[in-house]
Structure formats: structure tokens, C-alpha cells
Structure 1
Amino acid sequence: MDDAAELEEISVTANRIAGPQAAIGSAVSSISGKELEQRQIRVVSDVLRELPGVAVNRTGPVGALTQIRIRGSEGNQTLVIIDGIRMNDPGTSAEFDFANLLNLEVERVDVLRGPQSALYGSDAIGGVISIVTRKGEPGPTRFRASIEGGSFNTVTGTASVSGGTEAYDYLIAGQGFSTRGVSTAKRFDAYAPPGSLDRDGYRSGTGLAKVSVRPTENVEFTGVARYTEFDADRDGFGAASDGYPFAAAVDNRDTEKGKQFFGRAQARATLLDGAWDHVLGMSYTRQDRRSFDGTDLKTYASLGEMTRFDYQTNIRFQTGGALPASHVLTFGADHTRDAVKSFTAFPFPADAPNPLRKHIDNAGLVGQYQIGFFEKLFVTGSIRQDFNDRFDEATTYRVASAYTFDHTKTKLRASWGTGVKNPTTFELFGFSGNFVPNGDLKPERGEGWDVGFDQPLWSDRIVVDATYFQQRVRDLISSETVADPGDPTGFVNRPINVPGTSKIDGVELGLTVRPIDGLTLRAAYTFTDGEDATGATLVRRPRHVASFNANYAFFEGRANVNLGVVHNGRQRDFAYDATTYARTSVPLKAYTLVNVAASYKVTENAEVYGRVENLFDRKYEEVLTYDAPGRGAYGGLKLSF
């Protein structure tokens, strides 16, 4: 069975329960770990560029801040979950920075689009990205390792050991990555005359451990832990000269160091021959970031911790009669504490608490009911109530429906949902540089709906999907520039709720074709039209994003070639006046990137591979004034036994 067929069997992300694709009324896209390896993806965010509804912005080379936006939402309105752990960082902007997430044993990536707060709470106005890593398989112990090198003095290596029986399984894996990179600041910066820019390197190491124990057929205990440590060169941001009108990236010797821990312990019990299950879990995350200037002075530090307890139970049953139906009842409860500790060498105002310590508690109750008729028509309704120690109670809803026609296999689907995004601890209490917090911020409120279809053709060798969506966000948090109360000639920025409603509309298209055995062609296109309550175009949301990927496996699967093309259309980005720091927006040019990859299994246990990224050496910016790498070539060796 090929990967596509495997991905169509079940999905947990869309409804928080395992079930057939026919029961999913929301728009969700998936990609398998095997496909990531065929593309030779090393940074997980790179494959997200190929999925409908997703926009990626990275502030420079690998290791730089990487934001993901779904359907025009903000980066911190996208919830990221890895192996059941919520990854968003409460110590910064409450979003997950994909900069340090490399492709270490990733087995599957799901992107669920549209407001999902009824299922997942705050941070899910735009959607949810769920990533699952590989687990050990029954059988003898397996070892895997790889070593790779290439352009920009890049070296990466991975190693893993896994195994298991019917009673337990385990996986232990590690990865190291190092590159000299390229300069983050572009050459127009007056502080860096042509030829003088230094490279901004990046080094990271990640360890992953997963274990499951099944003392009986009905009980399973699972533990997962992930630890990442990184050291990155950074360029600053400030006033530009040489006639450039906006503040820009400034070449300097700044650095950032970080340590991240993510862990989860979970117990699952299944009763009544699988009809009733219970899941009890505890998650803990700790994300520590420290910034230094060129003299190794610690200029800023943030420590974000999240502690979460959650419980979910699902009851499945059937009813007969004239209209037989399947039913699934779901109930969930959770409690989350987000805590932050931050320090700055330049507090603003000068008498601000330093270091700053704050925390926010939130409890939630979730209820969901799904009914299915004749395995063709499914309707799912969800409701969540959140109790927050700082904000008013919030109630969010979601309804999704899907119908599959027997003869044509056409699946029609539609969903509607609401979302909430609480202000971050940084926006409420933070302090640094010319930033002033705002303790009066209100949560952002979202509402969205979509309608679409999935159509298989030619004995499932062709699959077409299309979705039209609308998103609305009230009280969007932005920023304004105001006079510095301590310096009449200076300016500061503070977050504010923009009155009114931001509007986002769009279309998502997908196409998969398998014309012959071994050849898979995939294409995706997204049109997004977004503007804030004032009518201004939302920044870092390109109107047009498209991708194409062709993969051909031959010689009985021993050889593989892959061609990937990503087009990112014209977009706008933030710009700050070099003198007043008043915020405006300016256009960024469209760009198209082409990547090629190939691999060959020399033996059953050894594989050689290579790839070229940005084949045509395209010069482009994903974030204003931040440079991106040019053409790069890489090659390596994989071993397994």
C-alpha cells in the first residue's frame, strides 16, 4: 500500500478522535515522513510551503525566526502540536518558532485549516499543525544513521535506535546540525559596505526519546521527551542610512542561544471492546532564549514554561431501526499554566520590574458529538468553554459535515467555527527597547467557514480537491507608534486592539496524479485576499502561493528522483520609518524556488543521496531587508541495519 492510501485511512487531528477520512468535514492536508525523505526535507517548515493555505516567512537563513500563517492568520494564531505536546512558546509571542525544528524521525504532518478553538482552545484561530514522530516497531532492534555535508559549510548527522514487541516499543534518536550560513542583513545596509558582511552561522542539536508500554491489551502508557539546544548568529535591526527610507537589518555580531525541552506522559485505557476509551496526559515545556551583543553582554532573556493536564474520553455506539447510525461522544477537560520570566539589559521604562515574572492559568471543558449515516453522511458538532484567570470566559463552537457519493466517490464537505486568541504575556507585561506593554488588551475573536469537495478519478490515480474559505477576526492585535513619555523627541511602540473586523477570503486547490507506477505528481495553489479593519492589506500574506512536486521511484524502488517548485507571490511587509519609526508597509517581490533531489540504494542497508536547493540561485526576501540563501548543493550517506 502506498503512502497516500495510508494517509487516507484515519485522521486524529481533525476531530480529536481516530476515524475515517469520510467523517472529516474540515479542510485538512497531510504529508508522510516518506515523502519528506523523498524531497530530502531538512527543515520541516520547507515542506509546509507546499501545502494549501500555508504561508512561510523566515528572517534570513536556516536557524532564523520562521513564522507559519494559515489562511492569513497571524503566526501566533496557529497552534502547533508535536506528539501530543502544545509547542507554542508562552515566553515570547505565544507562537512556535519553526527555526529549530529539523526533520528528525517525522512520520506524518497534518495541517488542519480554519478556526479550531472549540477543540483546542486559544492559539487555533487560523488552524492546527500536528506532527507525529516515528515510534519503534515490533521486531529486532533497528539502527539508522546518516551523515551529510554541503554548501555554506553545512554538516548534519542523525542516528537512531528503535525496536519493540507486542508489549512495548521504544525509539531514541539524535541529530546535530551546523552551518556557516549567509549574512542575514542585505548589502544596502550603511553599516556594512559591499563585501564586508559576515556570515550568520547556526548550530543545533536535538534528542528525541519515545517509549510505550502495554501491560495488557487494553492499557498503554506512553512517554515522549524532546530536547533541543541551539546557538545562532544574529543581525540587529535599526535605522538605515544611505538614503534608504526604512529601518533595516543591521550587520553586527549579535548572537542567540537557546535550550528547549518538551515532554509528555500519557495513559490510555480502552474498554467495552474498543467502544469506550480514556486518555489522561500531562505535558511540560520549557523554552529558554538568551540574546547577546558583540561583546557577549546579555541583552535579553526569556523563559517560557507551560504545564498542562488533560483528560479525554470517547464513547462509540450504534443505533438501528429505519435510520441506522454510528455515534461518537467525546468529553475533554484540561488545565494549562503559561509562565514567563524575562530580563533585559535596557528596561523600558527604567523602573520596570527586571526580571519580570508572570503567569496565566486557563481551564477548559470540551464536548463533541459525531453522528454518521450509512458511512456516507457525517455531522460533527463541538463546543468548548474556557475559564481564564485574567480574561472573561470564552465559549467557542464548531460544526463540520461531510457527504460521500457512492457512485462517483465525490466528497462534499463544509465547516464553520469560532476561535479565540488571548493576548500574550509579552504583549501584556513585556518590556524591552522601545516596546511598551498594554495590560488592557482584549482577546482576539475569530470566525470562519469553508466549503469544498474531494474528487477521486481514474481508479483513484487522480485526486482533485478545492475549498473556498472566509475568515473574520475581531479586535486584531497590532501595534501603534506613540511619543516616548520619557523623551519628547523619541518614539515607542505598544500593542493595541484594532477596532473592527479583519476580513480574509480565499481559495485552496490541490491535485495529485499517479499516471504510472512509481510516479507521483502533486500541485497546490492558494489565493488569499486579506485586509485589516482599516482596509489595509495584511502583511506577509502573499495573494498567490503555488507549488508543484514530481517524484519518480524506479529500479524497483532502489532509485528516486524528485523535483520541487514553490512560487511565493508578491506580498507586503512591515516597514518602520528610519526617523520616526512610524509603521507602514511596503511590497516584496514574488519569487520562485526550484529544488531537485536524487537517491540510490547501493545495498539494502546503504543509500547515497544528493540535492540542490534554489537551483537557479534566486535572490529573494521573505522578510523586508533580511537576506536568504542562494544556490546550495548537498550530499550524504544513509545506513540502516
Structure 2
Amino acid sequence: MPPPPANAPNKGNRYKGSFESSLRLGTDAIRHRLTAAIDVEREEFQNTTPSSFAFQGKRSTDNVGIVGQYELLINDAFSFGASIRHDENDRFDDPTTWRVQGSYSLPTGTRVRGAYGTGVKNPGYFELYGFSDGRYIGNPNLRPEKSEGWEAGIEQSFSDGKATISATYFDSRLKDEIFTTFPAPTFIATPSNRATLSKQHGIEVALAARPIPQIRLDAAYTWLHARENGTVEVRRPKHIGSFNATVFSKDERFSGTLTVRYNGRQTDVAFTNPSFIPVRVSLREYVLVNLNAEYKLRPNISLFARVENLINEQYEEVFSFATPGRAGYGGVRVRF
């Protein structure tokens, strides 16, 4: 869902407070960690558009989240973790989500790992009550999105940790996905929940290496199979890749990074048909190149510069929406 326009006539506030406490137990060989946390959040929204099509007035949502987490580490080789969260929400159902994960390191430098978890994402206030005259109407009947997924992976280190290669298989499902629809007879955009299930699975491969202290290399590739009710999902490229090369001065005060990102061909939805029936279009693949550099004047003060889209690639992430061309930035960064 796109963010509201900059001139959208609505106002909102968010207040949040959190408390967390941990307890560590065990010996050098076996370590336990128990964590408890509580999140209290309040969101407020007011639509100020004078229209009979839009909700007029104020809305607020209070949410209290209670979290429990357990972590176990044995001989720095086996690790296990489990967490659970329960939310008390005065607008939506009170969900309970959880996650378990574990890993084991072999003497050969090989590490195997796996995880399973669930999640919930509530719709935003603009999705519920937002309004843009003639362009967008919120839907107060939206349901939260619900997801579940698992992953399993393996990684291998080489040359005393100077290089690591890893591979991960993942599988996830999304229910009640929020998307934009254009119902007749007005065909004005409004969000809705999909009645079908979104299924995604794929493989991620990554390489990290620092052959000498002055050079660091990182590369990653993802193959994705994404289907919604058996149809290829829009804006989900099958192939994604990236490469980063960073050079450091001997004192590490200077660093420069070259980043190359590849985004494969993907489909999108367009309303080019005069009958306003959505049609599928193909967005071409593209490569983005970024370059950045930093020089530390002092431990907490540095100069930086970066160039984004160095080769001025012409590309689309969303059909017919313009994307930035070549741009340069520079400044001073101060850390406190």
C-alpha cells in the first residue's frame, strides 16, 4: 500500500513506551537467558476532509504487547531460542505470535540452522480511514494480515573465518493480504483483504569475505517463487542479486564502498485498457550502481559522500511511476 500523499488532509499521533528486563543464568559452558518485555502504544487519527464519502472525526487504537523469550547456548556450539508475544488490542482481535529457532556448529566450521514463526500486521489508519478526493477511500472493515513461515540453512567458514558462504531455503504463507482494488462503478482506489493465500518459497545464497584487512566483499542472490492463488504475484522479481566491495585505509579512517544491485524482470498491474479492466504488464530488469565514501576526522565525526544510481539507469519499480536518476549527496556525520 503506497503512503498517503504529502497533502493528504489528515492528522495523526503515535505514543509508545517499552520496558524490558533480562536474567542470565548458567556457567561458561551452558548459558541461559530469560527476557520479559511490555510494549504500550496508542495511535490517534483524524480525517479533516470535508466529504460525504469519508469518515469524519477521530479514531484511536490502544495496544499492549507482552513478550517472553528464552535463549540457550551450550559450549558456543548449540543454540536454541523461543519467543512468544500476546497483544491486547481494542480494535482488532488479540493475537498471539511465536517463533522458535536453533543452530549447531560442527568442528569443520559448518553451521546448520532453522527457524519457524508466525506474525500479524495490523492495517494502518490511512488504509482504514484515509481519503484523497477522487483517488482513494479507506476501508474501515480491513482485517490484519497473518503470516507463517519457516527456513533452514547451512553456512561454511573458510580460512580461519576470513570467508563464509551460506545457503538458506525459506517458505512462507500470507493470509488476508491487504491490496488495492478499484471497485465499480466509481473505480476509486480502496484497500481490501485478499480471499486467497499468498505462497512464497525460495533460496538465498550469500558470500562474505575479508581476504585482507583493507578489503571486504559481500555478495547475495535470491531466487523467489511467489504465487497468489496459482498466479505469479506482482512486483515480486524471480531473481535478485547484490554485490558490495569495500576498501579501507590501513588506519580504517577512510572507507569506500561500491554497491551493485540487480533486480530481475517482474510483472505489475496497469489500467491502460479503456474499460478500466486491469491488465498485466512486464517491468524490465535493471541494475543500480551506488558509490559512497567516508572519512573519520575523529571517532565521532566523519565526512561522507555518496552517489546513487551512478550510471543513471532508467527503471520502474511500479508501472508508470518515475524513479530517481543520478544523485549526489555529501555532508558531516556526528555521533553522540
Tell me the equivalent position of 2:109: 409
Q: Is the 8 A contact 1:462 1:512 kept in 2?
A: yes
Tell me the equivalent position of 2:73.
372
Distance in 2 between residues matched to 1:627 and 1:337, nearest whole Å: 35
Secondary structure of the structure 1 residue equivalent to 2:243: strand
Q: Does 1:543 pair with 2:238? A: yes
| Displacement after TM superposition at 1:398 (Å) | 0.8
Contact residue 396 and residue 417 of structure 1 kept, 8 A: yes
Matching residue of 1:302: 10
* Aligned pair partner of 1:593 in 288, 292, 297: 288
Residues 403, 436 of structure 1: alpha-carbon distance in 2 compared, 3 angstrom cutoff: same
Unpaired runs of at least 5, structure 2: none
Cα pair 2:23 2:34 within 8 Å, conserved: yes
Helix, strand or coil at the partner of 2:91? coil
TM-score (norm. length: structure 1): 0.47
Give secondary structure in 1 for the equivalent of 2:127: helix
Q: 1:126 aligns to what?
A: none
* Mapped partners of 2:200, 2:121: distance in 1: 17
Compute the TM-score of the two structures, normalised by the length of structure 2.
Answer: 0.86
Structure 1 residues 340, 509: closer, same or farther in 2, change over 3 A? same
1-structure distance, mates of 2:301, 2:62: 50
- Give the aligned partner of residue 139 of structure 2: 438
2:192 is aligned to: 496
Aligned partner of 2:130: which letter? G
1:464 to 154, 162, 165: 165
Q: Which residue in the other structure is 1:358 paired with?
A: 59
CA contact (8 A) 2:254 2:294 kept: yes
CA distance in 1, matches of 2:299, 2:321: 43
On the 8 A contact 2:47/2:55 being kept in 1, the answer is no
**Which of these residues, 40, 44, 62, is aligned with residue 339 of structure 1?**
44
8 Å Cα contact 1:477/1:497 also seen in 2: yes
Residue matched to 1:630: 325
Amino acid in the other structure paired with 2:121? K
1:400 is the counterpart of 2:108 = no
Question: Secondary structure, in 3 states, of the residue corresponding to 2:126?
Answer: helix
Q: 1:579 to 1:637 in 2, by over 3 A?
A: same
Q: Distance in 2 between matches of 1:638 and 1:421?
A: 34
Give the 3 Å change call, closer, same or farther, for CA 310–618 of structure 1 in structure 2: closer
Higher relative contact order (CA 8 A, sep 6+): 1
**1:564 maps to what in 2?**
259
Question: d(CA) in 2 for partners of 1:634 and 1:334?
Answer: 37
Change (3 A) 1:461 1:576: same
CA distance 1:622–1:495, shift in 2 (3 Å): closer
Deviation at 1:557, TM superposition (A): 4.3
Structure 2 counterpart of 1:505, from 201, 218, 222:
201
Q: 1:621 aligns with which of 306, 312, 316?
A: 316
Tell me how far apart the structure 2 counterparts of residues 552 and 535 of structure 1 sit (CA, whole Å): 45
Per the alignment, residue 176 of structure 2 pairs with 475
Rounded Cα–Cα distance in structure 2 between residues aligned with 1:441 and 1:409:
48
Residue of structure 2 in register with 1:424 after alignment: 124
Instruction: Give, in whole Å, the separation in 1 of the partners of 2:299 and 2:61.
Output: 53
Residues 11 and 48 of structure 2 are in contact (CA less than 8 Å); yes or no, is this contact kept in structure 1? no
How far apart in 1 are the matches of 2:334 and 2:10? 39
Cα RMSD, aligned residues only: 3.2
CA contact (8 A) 1:572 1:588 kept: yes
C-alpha deviation, 1:601, in angstroms: 8.0
Structure 1 SS opposite 2:76:
coil
Deviations 1:499-547 (A, max 9, x none): 2311011211211122223011111112222122x32322222221111
Which position in structure 2 is the counterpart of 1:96? Answer: none
Q: 1:580 to 1:425 in 2, by over 3 A?
A: farther
Structure 2 SS opposite 1:620: coil
**Can you give the 5+ residue segments of structure 1 that lack an aligned partner in the other structure?**
1-73, 76-91, 94-255, 257-289, 292-299, 485-489
Where in structure 2 are the equivalents of 1:600-619 lying within 5 Å?
Answer: 612-619=307-314
The structure in which a higher percent of residues are strand is 2
Q: Shift of the alpha carbon at 1:436? A: 3.6
SS in structure 2 opposite 1:427? helix
Secondary structure in 2 matching 1:408: coil
Report the CA distance between 1:613 and its aligned residue. Answer: 3.7
Contact 1:567 1:592 in 2 (8 A): yes
Count of residue correspondences: 334
1:311 is aligned, of 8, 14, 19, to: 19
Task: Supply the distance in 2 between the matched residues of 1:493 and 1:477 (Cα, whole angstroms).
Answer: 13
CA displacement 1:298-338 (0-9 Å, x = unmatched) = xx323221112322221211179xxx732222222222211
* Structure 1 residues 382 and 605: CA distance shift in structure 2, 3 A: closer
Q: Aligned letter for 1:592?
A: V
Deviation at 1:597, TM superposition (A): 4.5
* Identity score, percent: 37
1:602-641 per-residue CA deviation (whole Å, 9 max, x = no partner) reads: 999998876544333322122222223334456678899x
1:452, distance to aligned residue in structure 2 (A): 0.9
The equivalent residue for 1:382 is 83
- Contact between 1:348 and 1:431, CA under 8 Å: does it hold in 2? no
> Compared with structure 1, are the counterparts of its residues 326 and 586 closer, same or farther at alpha carbon in structure 2 (3 Å cutoff)?
same
Shift of 1:446: 0.5
